[in-house]
Structure 1
Amino acid sequence: MKSLVKNKLLIAFLPFVIAGCAVPGSHLTVDDDATSNQNIEQKVNILPITPQTISQYKPADLYSTANPALELDIQKYEYRVGVGDVLNITIWDHPELTIPAGSYRSSAESGNWVHSDGTIFYPYIGVVKVAGKSVREIRADIAKRLSQFIEAPQVDVNLASFRSQKVYVTGEVTNSGVLPVTNIPMTLLDAVNQSGGITDDAAWHEISLTRNGMTENISLYGLMQKGDLTQNRLMQQGDILHIPRNDDQKVFVLGEVNEPKMLKIDRVGMSLTEALAGVGGINEYQADATGVFVIRSQYDSNEGTIADVYQLDVTEATALALGTEFDLQPYDIVYVTAAPLSRWNRVMLQLMPTITGFNQLAQGIERTNNIYSDN
């Protein structure tokens, strides 16, 4: 009788033990009850991925686009002489004013160096201000001043060496370094090609162009792969073009998938379906097919939100076609949540040692009672 009572007490006590146990492992749900308890709806934006909403999440498509403004800038381009440049000045029919007789030096060596004050010295006319002027303006100035000494002077001015203006190409190119700005206009695409092109580790979706303290993000992918010439720029003195590594081009696939791991986004990007395929797909026995989530950090202190959570229901495998249209971004977290039965199995797996212990305790009590009753 005592054994029966104690066993009943143990059985009655078991639900309280189960109720007090937390479900092991992680889980994600957007059910109303769960979100209201944890105030998730106030901190994240739940966005379903459906045929009606998928177009809202896609970035703007890049197309082959002309850039008439750039073409006009190239047509009007004119190099301006700066400090350190070397000018080659020729006065026709007056060799004494050009390279001295008997000299075998190059034009760069024997030319007129632009001094730190932006001037050069020339015979007869003395100091000439050349910095900031084009060769046409310098030619006209010298010809006008020489006309006082030479009848109708025929003057030719060109650059023997371009040394005053530079652009800098850094990061994931074959030959990073300094490129001179010359009388031939150089675009951003020219700068990349002159540096040997990008490497395999280049993150060409987000290169940066820094000019006068302002940084602009440019898609080299759009420019080179899609022919979007609006991404091209005319390079100017002091520009810094940086092509970063793709080290931060990664996403994390976790939860009920066959091989949770980090994946690196390749040059052409990665879709949600590609990410799932890259980890062997979802675990068909434990995953909740309605709960494929993409968690994207979107901290906004004004609105109190911490993330956007996109939800894809792949109960029907055809929904994976929607996943091919959803592009992942760096540091996205793809999380496949567990099915309710899987969560219950976790609880039971955690409780089994305790239940076994209760059974052994009950059996021990029963044997003890039998011994006393026999005596």
Structure 2
Amino acid sequence: MKRLLSCALLGSSLFLGGCVLSPGSDMPYENSGPPIDDLVDVQPITFGLVQAQNAARKEFSSQQGLKEASDEMKFDASDYEYRIGKGDILNIVVYDHPELTIPAGGERSSVETGNVVHGDGTIFYPYVGRIHVAGKNVADVRTQIAAALADYIAEPQVEVNIASFQSQKAYVSGQVSNPGQQPITNTPLTVLDAISSAGGLNENADWRHVVLTHNGQEEIINVYDMLQNGQISQNRLLHDGDVLHVPDVGDEKVYVLGEVQRPQDLPMGGHRFNLVDALSQSGGIDEIQARASGIFVIRQGGPGDKQATVYQLDASNAAAYVIGTEFQLEPRDIVYVTTAPISRWNRVISQLLPSTNLTRQSVGSVRDYNDL
């Protein structure tokens, strides 16, 4: 009986140990998937690759610049002219005739003493009566008033300016410091002007997909290209009712994973990262755990039917980081640093240790029972 119990305990210990050393041995695995070579294209990161990619990027930027230059919507400041609208306040001065001019002073501003454009687009002025001014510029209104006063005043000298711009507004929303309305004035309001007046773009702003809505039609504005690549022809003129929306960065990020000090995602709204930038901002690679030859950049899409392109940087020689500084990352790239084989083995051992200790304790119990 004693020997039978000992054998039972030892058998159960060995059974547990066998389960530990062969985890999942009774679980079916699906190995029918296509080989990895059929799904991805693997390329080493070399100076030749970097030079080819930079040349392609410059060519694309040049083609975009030519396209932008021929765009019919480009803005010419010399053609801009403000048109008076309902709610604007006009300041009208007739020189040498103070009876026709309500002076502004310390107690009243020119806005308070000005002529408001009424809902029907008209104003009232002495000796002239009610005149329609909406849709006209100040030069037109000046000529109209001077012509009407000529019947009462010899060679009237009239000055007309806008004391307050109230009729027309554009709106800036999204990832800016001070979203809200922007008045349309006699100074042209462009996309960059509106963003600047709204306090600039936030850290999480997507610089490349700013949406301008004009007359119900949406257009994507690339602010990054305007500021970084000089494609200023995208700097559209804003009109009354236009909405400029700056979205958040969304998935315009680079993801740094694996054996780095701080795995994270890096927003690329207004920034460009090279491979070394991404690794540096993630605290660098883990010198103990990481395999220096296993720094990969996984990018969606590839030649032919490939689903992704995997670029590999072999940093076994520290000089390879020079190449890494020239390798430009793109939004949605995944930077992955692999684990050295010895580290993977150590992790497996550490996971097995609790069960191994259980087996050792079971064998010790059998020995203690035999001693009894």
TM-score computed with the length of structure 1 as normaliser: 0.66
Match of 1:211 among 210, 213, 219: 213
1:99-130 alpha-carbon deviations (Å, 9 max, x no partner): 25x88655433332111122223445543222
Counterpart of 1:324 in 2: which secondary structure?
helix
Return closer, same or farther for 1:166/1:221 CA change in 2, 3 Å cut-off.
Answer: same
Between 1:73-82 and 1:160-169, the stretch displaced more is 160-169
Match of 1:186 among 189, 194, 204: 189
Match of 2:285 among 263, 282, 287: 282
Which residue does 1:158 correspond to in 2? 161
CA distance in structure 2 between the partners assigned to 1:337 and 1:261 by the alignment: 12
| Residues 209 and 217 in structure 1, CA contact (< 8 A), matched pair in contact too | yes
CA distance in structure 1 between the partners assigned to 2:171 and 2:135 by the alignment: 21
Counterpart of 1:323 in 2: which secondary structure?
helix
What's the RMSD between the two structures over aligned residues?
5.1
Which residue does 1:29 correspond to in 2? none
CA distance in structure 1 between the partners assigned to 2:350 and 2:245 by the alignment: 53
Do residues 324 (structure 1) and 338 (structure 2) align? no
Return closer, same or farther for 1:284/1:99 CA change in 2, 3 Å cut-off.
Answer: closer
CA distance in structure 1 between the partners assigned to 2:30 and 2:132 by the alignment: 73
Do residues 334 (structure 1) and 340 (structure 2) align? no
Which residue does 1:167 correspond to in 2? 170
Which residue does 1:234 correspond to in 2? 237
CA distance in structure 2 between the partners assigned to 1:44 and 1:127 by the alignment: 76
Which residue does 1:108 correspond to in 2? 111
Return closer, same or farther for 1:358/1:231 CA change in 2, 3 Å cut-off.
Answer: same
Which residue does 1:76 correspond to in 2? 79
Amino acid at match of 1:236: H
Structure 2, unaligned stretches of length 5 or more? none
| Residues 46 and 310 in structure 1, CA contact (< 8 A), matched pair in contact too | yes
Aligned length: 347
Which residue does 1:314 correspond to in 2? 314
Amino acid at match of 1:262: Q
CA distance in structure 1 between the partners assigned to 2:92 and 2:150 by the alignment: 15
1:264-299 alpha-carbon deviations (Å, 9 max, x no partner): 45854332222223344333454344543345679x
TM-score computed with the length of structure 2 as normaliser: 0.66
CA distance in structure 2 between the partners assigned to 1:320 and 1:90 by the alignment: 70
| Residues 209 and 247 in structure 2, CA contact (< 8 A), matched pair in contact too | yes
1:1-375 maps to which residues of 2 (within 5 A)? 18-21=21-24, 37-38=32-33, 46=41, 48=43, 50-51=45-46, 53-54=49-50, 55-56=52-53, 60=57, 73-91=76-94, 96=99, 98-99=100-101, 106-143=109-146, 155-169=158-172, 177-194=180-197, 197-198=199-200, 201=203, 203=205, 205-206=207-208, 208-212=210-214, 213-224=216-227, 227-241=230-244, 251-257=254-260, 259-262=261-264, 264-265=266-267, 268-295=271-298, 308=308, 310-314=310-314, 316-317=316-317, 318-328=319-329, 333-355=334-356, 358=359
Structure 1, unaligned stretches of length 5 or more? 23-33, 299-303
| Residues 250 and 262 in structure 1, CA contact (< 8 A), matched pair in contact too | no
| Residues 294 and 311 in structure 1, CA contact (< 8 A), matched pair in contact too | yes
1:30-52 alpha-carbon deviations (Å, 9 max, x no partner): xxxx9964558699755645335
Amino acid at match of 1:99: T
CA distance in structure 2 between the partners assigned to 1:156 and 1:370 by the alignment: 117
1:191-236 alpha-carbon deviations (Å, 9 max, x no partner): 44445x5377464734735332455554545444554423433333
CA distance in structure 2 between the partners assigned to 1:348 and 1:172 by the alignment: 49
How many percent identity over aligned positions? Answer: 39
CA distance in structure 1 between the partners assigned to 2:35 and 2:241 by the alignment: 48
Return closer, same or farther for 1:15/1:220 CA change in 2, 3 Å cut-off.
Answer: same
| Residues 213 and 244 in structure 2, CA contact (< 8 A), matched pair in contact too | no
